[in-house]
Structure 1
Amino acid sequence: MKATLQQIIKNVGDDTTLLDVQSVSGGSVSQAYRVQTKENIYFIKYNPNVPEDFFEKERDGLMRLKRSGAISVPTVYAHKESYIAMEWVSGARKKETETLLGRGLAELHQCTRDTFGLDVDNYIGKLPQPNNEEENWLTFYKKHRLGFQMELALKRDVLPKVRREKLERLLDSLHRFLPAHSVPSLLHGDLWGGNWITGDAGIPYFIDPAVFYGEREMELAFTELFGGFSQTFYDAYEEISPLPPEFEERKPLYQLYYLLVHLNLFGETYGPSVDRVLDYYVGSK
Structure 2
Amino acid sequence: MVVADVGLFSFSSCIPSLSPPPPRLRFSFTRTRRLAVASMSDDPVREWILSEGKATQITGIRSIGGGCINRASRYDTDAGSFFVKTNRSIGPSMFEGEALGLNAMYETRSIRVPKPFKVGPLPTGGSYIIMEFIEFGGSWGNQSELGRKLAEMHKAAKSEKGFGFDVDNTIGSTPQINTWTSDWIEFYGVHRLGYQLKLARQQYGDSLIYEKGQRLVKNMAPLFDGAVIEPCLLHGDLWSGNISSDKNGDPVILDPACYYGHNEAEFGMSWCAGFGGSFYNAYFEVMPKQPGFEQRRDLYMLYHYLNHYNLFGSGYRSSAMSIIDDYLRMLKV
Same fold, TM exceeding 0.5?
A: yes
1:249 aligns with 2:289: no
- Per-residue deviation, residues 255-279 of structure 1 (Å, max 9, x unmatched): 1111112222222221121111112
- Identify which range, 195-204 or 88-97, moves more after superposition: 88-97
Map 1:46-85 → 2, pairs under 5 A: 46-81=86-121, 82-85=127-130
1:69 is matched by which residue type in structure 2?
R
Aligned-pair CA distance for 1:219: 0.7
Aligned-pair CA distance for 1:280: 1.1
Inter-partner Cα distance in structure 1 for 2:42 and 2:293: 46
- Per-residue deviation, residues 155-206 of structure 1 (Å, max 9, x unmatched): 222x523222211221221223235962111111111111122113112122
Inter-partner Cα distance in structure 2 for 1:55 and 1:211: 12
1:145 is matched by which residue type in structure 2?
R
* Counterpart selection for 1:142 from 189, 192, 197: 189
2:75 is matched by which residue type in structure 1?
V
Q: Secondary structure at the match of 1:200?
A: coil
Cα pair distance change 1:208/1:5, threshold 3 Å:
farther
Q: Is the 8 A contact 2:92 2:128 kept in 1?
A: no
Map 1:87-166 → 2, pairs under 5 A: 87-92=132-137, 97-110=142-155, 111-114=157-160, 115-157=162-204, 160-166=206-212
Q: Is the 8 A contact 1:43 1:87 kept in 2?
A: yes
Partner of 1:263: 309
Inter-partner Cα distance in structure 2 for 1:128 and 1:139: 18
Aligned-pair CA distance for 1:221: 3.6
Inter-partner Cα distance in structure 2 for 1:227 and 1:96: 14
Aligned-pair CA distance for 1:66: 0.9
Inter-partner Cα distance in structure 2 for 1:233 and 1:9: 41
Partner of 2:237: 190
Q: Is the 8 A contact 2:163 2:180 kept in 1?
A: yes
- Per-residue deviation, residues 188-247 of structure 1 (Å, max 9, x unmatched): 11111111221131121221111111111111243x221233332222112212313511
Unaligned residue ranges in structure 2 (runs of 5+):
1-40, 122-126
Inter-partner Cα distance in structure 2 for 1:244 and 1:266: 33
2:142 is matched by which residue type in structure 1?
T
1:22 aligns with 2:63: yes
Inter-partner Cα distance in structure 2 for 1:141 and 1:242: 21
**CA RMSD between the two structures:** 2.7
Q: Secondary structure at the match of 1:32?
A: strand
Partner of 1:273: 319
Unaligned residue ranges in structure 1 (runs of 5+):
none
Aligned-pair CA distance for 1:126: 2.1
Report the TM-score when normalising by structure 2: 0.75
Inter-partner Cα distance in structure 2 for 1:209 and 1:94: 20
Inter-partner Cα distance in structure 2 for 1:60 and 1:148: 22
Report the TM-score when normalising by structure 1: 0.87
- Identify which range, 200-209 or 89-98, moves more after superposition: 89-98
Cα pair distance change 1:212/1:203, threshold 3 Å:
same
Cα pair distance change 1:255/1:192, threshold 3 Å:
same
Inter-partner Cα distance in structure 1 for 2:42 and 2:316: 36
Cα pair distance change 1:133/1:236, threshold 3 Å:
same
Inter-partner Cα distance in structure 2 for 1:95 and 1:121: 29
Inter-partner Cα distance in structure 1 for 2:92 and 2:43: 21
1:10 aligns with 2:47: yes
* Counterpart selection for 1:235 from 281, 290, 308: 281
Q: Is the 8 A contact 2:92 2:119 kept in 1?
A: no
Inter-partner Cα distance in structure 2 for 1:238 and 1:176: 23
Partner of 2:19: none
Inter-partner Cα distance in structure 1 for 2:223 and 2:136: 42
1:126 is matched by which residue type in structure 2?
S
Cα pair distance change 1:119/1:77, threshold 3 Å:
closer
Inter-partner Cα distance in structure 2 for 1:77 and 1:18: 20
- Tell me the percent identity: 36
- Identify which range, 269-278 or 38-47, moves more after superposition: 38-47
Cα pair distance change 1:272/1:126, threshold 3 Å:
same
2:286 is matched by which residue type in structure 1?
I
Inter-partner Cα distance in structure 2 for 1:58 and 1:209: 6
2:256 is matched by which residue type in structure 1?
P
1:191 is matched by which residue type in structure 2?
L
Inter-partner Cα distance in structure 1 for 2:62 and 2:139: 28
- Per-residue deviation, residues 67-112 of structure 1 (Å, max 9, x unmatched): 1122111122322131112222123258963332111111111122
Aligned-pair CA distance for 1:146: 0.8
Where relative contact order (Cα < 8 A, 6+ residues apart) is larger, the structure is: 2
Inter-partner Cα distance in structure 1 for 2:130 and 2:74: 10
